[in-house]
């Protein structure tokens, strides 16, 4: 298992058995994903499939380009697919290229507003973008059911930890789609080489990896976490969840690797720059797991049996790696040893070393 990226600017993790390689989420541009895979000693062409947890931008940004480039299937739930297709499909009154151009312009406007200091105080990216989305809807008829379905947050990335500065990775992903659309203007931008639907709670296999998706509480169409089993090894991924429900905590038992969200420090979030509405959303039961909530699970709900615990989806604005680490270490206390509960922190800007079991 290699965490290629984790955080509100993009998420992607590689899970590999001796014969099968799966990318869980593709929230970086295709180019960056490939770069990081190669840096981690993995060959992108050897990927068998992409699995998607939910349709927020920080999880799907590079999904389509990567799937098309490698000609590999995308596994997701039908509601997640529908939400993504709605987000990707412009109405007839505006071309897809024009819509992308608008998105690029929005990013530029944001940058300029920030540069001149007239940034909405602490405005969070998702909120700003959804406001623009509403203008677009009224003025140009962009189809934005995704925005409606997902509430004010729209299809923006998970809001916790969204940085106020321009997101180079998002820009790169958009540029990539524009370049691709210029080469093949006739192709439906929401096309994928092949789509495989799964349902939460129903296990399936990809090669020799058994996959069990489970529902997580998060403000997306049909968000899931995953358990992977192969070669006698069990790996669980649970990020982007507002709290730890019992159905999730049951799935996290008997794991060899547990990747768990430790998104924010509650005090940093409370005292930080986000508008109150966003703070409420992050703290809500469909937001993100705080350091305290992750620690509470590690102390009381977790069986202590994993060789590795990976803290993930840390907010850049509302958390510090050391705070997340201290909370988890305190919770795990005497259960940490050379063989068990080795604590790792996933990073936004670079892959962490492969976990090999």
Residue 272 beta carbon to Zn ion: minimum distance, rounded to whole angstroms: 18
Asked if 97 contacts 64 with a C-beta cutoff of 8 angstroms, the reply is no
List the x/- string, 18-57, binding to Zn ion by CB under 5 A.
--------------------------------------x-
3-class state of residue 82 by DSSP: helix
Residue 346 beta carbon to Zn ion: minimum distance, rounded to whole angstroms: 12
**According to the binding rule CB under 5 A, does residue 128 interact with Zn ion?**
no
**According to the binding rule CB under 5 A, does residue 58 interact with Zn ion?**
yes
The packing angle between helices 96-115 and 125-140, to 10°, is 130
Phi, psi of 236 (to 5 degrees): -120, 140
Strand spans (E) along 297-357: 308-312, 342-345
Q: With respect to Zn ion, which residue has the nearer C-beta, 230 or 244?
A: 244
Q: With respect to Zn ion, which residue has the nearer C-beta, 251 or 315?
A: 315
Residue 147 beta carbon to Zn ion: minimum distance, rounded to whole angstroms: 15
For residue 13, which of 251, 348, 316, 282 has the smallest C-alpha distance?
348
Number of helices and strands (H, E) in the chain? 13, 13
For residue 68, which of 252, 155, 192 has the smallest C-alpha distance?
192
Q: With respect to Zn ion, which residue has the nearer C-beta, 88 or 158?
A: 158
List the x/- string, 273-312, binding to Zn ion by CB under 5 A.
----------------------------------------
Q: With respect to Zn ion, which residue has the nearer C-beta, 291 or 341?
A: 291
Classify residue 290 by burial, with Cβ atoms within 10 Å: 0-12, 13-18, 19+. buried
Asked if 211 contacts 204 with a C-beta cutoff of 8 angstroms, the reply is yes
By CB under 5 A, the count of residues binding Zn ion is 4
Number of other residues whose CB lies within 10 A of the CB of residue 58? 29
Residue whose Cβ sits closest to Zn ion: 158
**According to the binding rule CB under 5 A, does residue 125 interact with Zn ion?**
no
For residue 243, which of 227, 265, 261 has the smallest C-alpha distance?
261
List Cβ neighbours of 64 (8 Å cut-off, separation of 6 or more). 88, 177, 189, 190, 191, 192
Alpha-carbon 271 to chain mean position: 25
Q: With respect to Zn ion, which residue has the nearer C-beta, 136 or 240?
A: 240
**According to the binding rule CB under 5 A, does residue 240 interact with Zn ion?**
yes
Instruction: Select from 42-50, 118-126, 136-144, 237-245 the region that touches Zn ion (CB under 5 A).
Output: 237-245
Residue 165 beta carbon to Zn ion: minimum distance, rounded to whole angstroms: 18
Q: With respect to Zn ion, which residue has the nearer C-beta, 173 or 230?
A: 173
Residue 41 beta carbon to Zn ion: minimum distance, rounded to whole angstroms: 26
Q: With respect to Zn ion, which residue has the nearer C-beta, 7 or 44?
A: 7
Query: Per residue in 305-328, is it b (16+ CB within 10 Å) or e — as a string?
Result: ebbbbbbbbbbbbbbeeebbbebb
Q: With respect to Zn ion, which residue has the nearer C-beta, 101 or 200?
A: 200
Binding to Zn ion (CB under 5 A) within 139-158 occurs at 158
Residue 196's H or E segment, with its range, is strand 195-197
Residue 276 beta carbon to Zn ion: minimum distance, rounded to whole angstroms: 20
Query: What is the distance between the alpha carbons of residues 357 and 354, in angstroms, rounded to a whole number?
Result: 10
Q: With respect to Zn ion, which residue has the nearer C-beta, 42 or 240?
A: 240
List the x/- string, 152-191, binding to Zn ion by CB under 5 A.
------x---------------------------------
Residue 54 beta carbon to Zn ion: minimum distance, rounded to whole angstroms: 5
Residue 99 beta carbon to Zn ion: minimum distance, rounded to whole angstroms: 22
Triad 242, 244, 248: Cα angle to 5°: 115
Which positions lie near Zn ion, rule CB under 5 A?
56, 58, 158, 240
């Amino acid at each position: 298992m290699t965490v290629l990226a984790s955080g509100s600017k993009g998420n992607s993790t590689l899970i590999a058995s001796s014969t099968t390689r799966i990318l869980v989420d593709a929230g970086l541009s295709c180019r960056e994903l490939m770069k990081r895979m190669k840096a981690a000693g993995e060959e992108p062409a050897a990927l068998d499939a992409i699995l998607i947890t939910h349709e927020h931008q920080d999880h799907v940004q590079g999904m389509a380009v990567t799937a098309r480039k490698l000609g590999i299937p995308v596994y997701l739930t039908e509601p997640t697919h529908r939400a993504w297709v709605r987000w990707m499909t412009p109405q007839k009154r505006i071309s897809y290229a024009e819509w992308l151009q608008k998105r690029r312009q929005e990013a530029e406007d944001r940058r300029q507003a920030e540069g001149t200091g007239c940034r909405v105080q602490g405005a969070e990216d998702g909120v700003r973008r959804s406001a623009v989305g509403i203008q677009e809807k009224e003025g140009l008829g962009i189809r934005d059911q995704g925005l409606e379905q997902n509430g004010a947050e729209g299809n923006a990335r998970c809001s916790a930890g969204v940085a106020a500065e321009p997101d180079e990775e998002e820009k790169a992903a958009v540029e990539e789609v524009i370049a691709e659309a210029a080469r093949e203007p006739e192709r439906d931008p929401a096309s994928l080489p092949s789509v495989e639907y799964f349902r939460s709670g129903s296990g399936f296999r990809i090669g020799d990896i058994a996959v069990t998706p489970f529902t997580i509480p998060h403000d997306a169409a049909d968000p899931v976490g995953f358990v992977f089993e192969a070669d006698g090894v069990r790996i669980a991924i649970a990020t982007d969840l507002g709290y730890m429900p019992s159905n999730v905590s049951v799935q996290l038992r008997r794991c060899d690797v547990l990747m768990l969200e430790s998104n924010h420090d509650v005090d940093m979030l409370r005292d930080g720059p986000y508008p109150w509405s966003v703070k409420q959303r992050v703290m809500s039961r469909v937001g993100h797991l705080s350091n305290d909530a992750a620690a509470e699970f590690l102390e009381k709900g977790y069986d202590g049996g994993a060789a590795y615990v990976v803290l993930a989806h840390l907010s850049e604005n509302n958390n510090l790696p050391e705070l997340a680490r201290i909370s988890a270490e305190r919770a795990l206390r005497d259960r940490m040893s050379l063989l068990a509960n080795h604590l790792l922190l996933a990073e936004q800007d670079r892959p962490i070393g492969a976990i090999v079991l």
